[in-house]
Amino acid sequence: MAELKILTMSDVQAEQVEWLWAPYIPFGKISIIQGDPGNGKTTMALAIAAAVTTGTKLPGGHLSAPGNVIFQTAEDGLADTIKPRLEQLGADCDRVHIIDEGETALSLSDERIEQAIVEKGARLFILDPLQAYLGGADMHSANGVRPLMKQLAAVAEWTGCAIVIIGHLNKKGGKAQYRGLGSIDIYAAARSVLTVGKLEVDEHLRGVVHNKSNLAPPGTSLAFELDPHTGFRWCGEHEITIDELLGGKQQAPESQSSKAKRLIQSVLAHGPVLATDMFQMAEAQGISKKTLSRAKDALGIASIKRQDKWYWQVPIEVQEEQEPQEGHTPAVTTLTSLPTQGVSA
């Protein structure tokens, strides 16, 4: 019989959640990426892995130091599928590791998972797909799945590694959690669940809905492109619900150009704004500098200079000093009037 031990909450040290990709993938926890076969969930996971190996910013995230990744797959060939995709995504393949299953197949309860994470100092461990790593357990049985998920969660917490499980949705209808990976205990063990699905408006577009988030408010839904010629590309935010993604009515994602115009109009409605601030706000929303500049030109937004700083403002009926463009000499004229609302000297 186990010895009784009682903890007191006053002795527990409170800790803040740390994120691999806030608020989608936390460190030290299990996350799930799920979707129907062929919808791009593995490619999306590889894009996340590639970003981790190079310290590249993910949508809405922040730059971080490059880290090691363990990518365990039972469906795709390493030489003909996984490595070419990683190279196309710009990954540092020296930072991507695989546990050799040549002699013994891996399972969720395998001690090699923890050993590999510790040995490589992995920040991200991806298992693709869950169905291949149950070690004979019935994924629809709570008694079979619960201890496996509990053990894997303990490994994530102890190592601080973000563990991501990829899995196929089942074909029956109903709520997303019941179309998920077998027993509801799998869904329950995850602190974050991302569901990937096709966007009917374009055969190359996929939507991502953050339909479970225990540690923070859910992140905005996203879209990405799987173009056979240009490969994977994040497309920014996309308004869609989980029900719409899994078969309901869908709307076309907002183009980056439209998104840039909307940002400019909403911000400049309150007065002139520093050009550098506009670019920073655009970057935070995944809008490139080139796209923002094109939207500015399309809207006829004026560039004005005041005390050696450039501002953007809605056009006024005065002659303005034009912001210099690359390869062109600016035409300097007199600025006769300038609204001071929203402008800091």
Mean pLDDT, residues 305-330 taken together: 63
Domain final residue pick, 185, 214, 245: 245
pLDDT score of 171 more than 70: no
**Mean pLDDT, all residues of the chain:** 85
Q: Which of 52-61, 270-279, 331-340 has the highest mean pLDDT?
A: 52-61
* Inside any domain, residue 44: yes
CATH assignment at residue 130: 3.40.50.300
The model's confidence at residue 6, banded by pLDDT at 50, 70 and 90, is very high
Cα separation of 260 and 280, whole Å? Answer: 12
pLDDT tens profile 121-132: 999 999 999 989
pLDDT tens profile 218-239: 999 999 999 888 889 999 999 8
pLDDT score of 215 more than 50: yes
Question: Does one domain contain both 222 and 172?
Answer: yes
pLDDT of the residue at 247: 75
Domain final residue pick, 193, 225, 245: 245
pLDDT score of 187 more than 80: yes
Out of 44-53, 90-99, 169-178, 247-256, which region has the weakest mean confidence (pLDDT)? 169-178
Cα separation of 86 and 231, whole Å? Answer: 11
Question: Does one domain contain both 202 and 91?
Answer: yes
Question: What order of strands is seen across the sheet that includes strand 309-313?
Answer: 273-274, 309-313, 302-306
The pTM of this model reads 0.70
Q: Is 231 helix (H, G, I), strand (E, B) or coil?
A: strand
At position 345, the amino acid (one-letter code) is A
* Inside any domain, residue 118: yes
Question: Does one domain contain both 207 and 293?
Answer: no
Q: What are phi and psi of 106, to 5 degrees?
A: -90, 150
Domain final residue pick, 245, 273, 288: 245
Pairing state between β 205-213 and 192-198:
antiparallel
For Cα atoms 212, 163, 94, give the angle at the middle one, nearest 5 degrees: 135
Residues across the chain:
345
| Chain-centre distance for alpha carbon 78 | 23
CATH assignment at residue 312: 1.10.10
Question: Does one domain contain both 235 and 93?
Answer: yes
E strand or H helix that includes residue 267: helix 256-268
Question: Does one domain contain both 216 and 270?
Answer: no
Question: Does one domain contain both 103 and 239?
Answer: yes
pLDDT of the residue at 117: 98
pLDDT score of 153 more than 90: yes
pLDDT tens profile 297-310: 989 898 888 888 89
* Inside any domain, residue 144: yes
* Inside any domain, residue 323: yes
pLDDT of the residue at 182: 61
pLDDT of the residue at 284: 81
pLDDT of the residue at 45: 97
For Cα atoms 80, 86, 88, give the angle at the middle one, nearest 5 degrees: 95
pLDDT of the residue at 258: 84
Cα separation of 49 and 288, whole Å? Answer: 22
Question: Does one domain contain both 268 and 233?
Answer: no
Question: Does one domain contain both 197 and 317?
Answer: no
Question: Does one domain contain both 344 and 210?
Answer: no
* Inside any domain, residue 250: no
pLDDT of the residue at 144: 81
Strand partners, 128: 73
Cα separation of 103 and 96, whole Å? Answer: 21
Task: Report DSSP letters for 163-219, one per residue.
Answer: EEEEEEPPS--S-GGGSSSSSHHHHHH-SEEEEEEE-TT-TTEEEEEEEEESSSSPP
* Inside any domain, residue 6: no
* Inside any domain, residue 271: yes
Q: Domain of 121?
A: 16-245
pLDDT of the residue at 254: 67
Mean pLDDT, residues 91-108 taken together: 96
pLDDT of the residue at 225: 95
Q: How many domains does the chain have?
A: 2
